Amino acid sequence: MVPAGFTRLSRSAHLPEGWIRRVRDAGIPDAATACSPLAPSRVCALQMFYNAMRRKGWNPTEEDMAAVVAIHNAVNERAWSQVMAWEGLHAHECENPRLVRFQGKPGEFTLRSRALTLLGYSPPFDRHDWVVNRCGEEVTYLIDFYKGDSTRAGPPSFFIDARPNITSLSTLADRMLMPAYQALGIVRVKQ
């Protein structure tokens, strides 16, 4: 069974064989079993990403997918590094937090992104909620993705605002203390 908010692989939206062959030729094994949204093989991840783009009305080409997946992976790695900076505040409790699940919510704005938009900033182009298992405790992170400076040359620029959702005194304390830790240089968060 596929969890709510995840895509079941559709027989009608399969990747072109050349894409799968390119992934295999790169030494990335194809999963012989059904794809798991929580731990997909690279071929399954590419298939899920392709399905999501098709669902959103895009008709990606092979060249598009290569670039989009590379950018998507870089963005997610940067978001994970921000989540790990927050999780570092609890390293004494849990040395190995894990991503349990995530859900894209591109049409739903967080309170912070709505406030920033009212102040004249551009709205985020995407939003995710990531749930992290902190050694038995589930913590939800709100992640807003913003376009960066489009006037400069080079790779696409973006800004990520990742922070724990305030659902407890612990997450409230984290949200209040992190700016002080950053100002003092105790914690560094990559943008």
Q: What is the largest CA-CA distance in the chain?
A: 54
What's the pLDDT band for 8 if we cut at 50, 70, 90?
very low
Amino acid at 130: W
Nearest to 190 by CA among 150, 161, 164, 168: 161
**What order of strands is seen across the sheet that includes strand 98-104?**
98-104, 126-134, 137-147, 158-164
Chain Cα centroid distance, residue 11: 25
Q: pLDDT tens-digit profile of 171-181?
A: 999 999 999 99
Q: pLDDT tens-digit profile of 89-139?
A: 999 999 989 888 888 888 899 999 999 999 999 999 899 999 999 999 999
Within a domain: residue 185?
yes
Q: Give pLDDT, residue 6.
A: 38
What's the pLDDT band for 14 if we cut at 50, 70, 90?
low
∠ at Cα 73 (71, 79), nearest 5°?
Answer: 105
Within a domain: residue 12?
no
- Residue 100 class from Cβ within 10 Å (0-12 exposed, 13-18 middle, 19+ buried)? middle
Number of domains in the chain: 1
Within a domain: residue 144?
yes
Within a domain: residue 119?
yes
Within a domain: residue 168?
yes
Instruction: Give pTM, 2 decimals.
Output: 0.72
- Residue 145 class from Cβ within 10 Å (0-12 exposed, 13-18 middle, 19+ buried)? buried
Q: How far is CA 31 from CA 7, 129, 134, 191, in A?
A: 17, 27, 28, 33
3-class secondary structure, 163: strand
Within a domain: residue 159?
yes
Q: Cα(64)–Cα(57) distance, rounded to whole angstroms?
A: 14
Domain that holds residue 117: 94-191
Q: Give pLDDT, residue 34.
A: 52
Q: pLDDT tens-digit profile of 63-74?
A: 777 777 777 777
Within a domain: residue 186?
yes
Q: Give pLDDT, residue 65.
A: 75
Within a domain: residue 51?
no
Residues near 20 by beta carbon (within 8 Å), at least 6 away in sequence: 30, 43, 46
pLDDT higher for 23 or 66? 66
Is the model's pLDDT at 62 over the cut of 90?
no
